[in-house]
Amino acid sequence: MEVLDALDLSDVIFAGHSVAGMMGMLAAIEQPDRFASLIMVCPSPCYVDEPGYKGGFSRQDLDELLEVIDSNFLEWARDGSRAIMGNPDRPELGSDLGESFCRTDPSIAAHFPRVTFLSDHRSDLPKCETRTLVLQTMSDMVAPEEVGQYVAARMPNAQLHIMAATGHCPHMSAPAETIEAMRQFLDS
């Protein structure tokens, strides 16, 4: 919001991946006149499974994951990134993602996963009236397909696009497909 305010921007097209999609949604709720469209790539309003909602992780699994991250972030970043990427036939993508995690400031890296994975913005979804594209991949261990369906169904002006891409990072694993889906949305 500070960037938009400083530059006095309006009619912004915001694209955000994963939790950044939720951040964009919250910003659009706060100042809807600034946003023309949102593009949310594999977003999740809540990562914890609950009765009637599949977020991707049981609370116990999430607690164990956060413990691993807290105890050895660099090891988790290198090993967990392969699973997050979800393209075992292209291990270099997981390695690239892991290396980007490892370049993160350790003080932020230690706090960010906890804030992200324990957030719950499901009640905010109906408040966002900005035109939105929800891009959802197949076999996303972080934000399963049901999450993308949930997000799109609860936002008043959202459409869901299920991609052929797999894993949580289609902007890295399938950039051409990601760009084409964005273009189609923006041209419509």
Instruction: Mark whether 111 is an active-site residue.
Output: no
CA distance 55 to 173: 22
Instruction: Mark whether 121 is an active-site residue.
Output: no
Instruction: Mark whether 18 is an active-site residue.
Output: yes
List 17, 121, 161, 168, catalytic entry: 168
List 18, 37, 44, 173, catalytic entry: 18
List 37, 44, 140, 161, catalytic entry: 140
| Catalytic residue IDs | 18, 140, 168
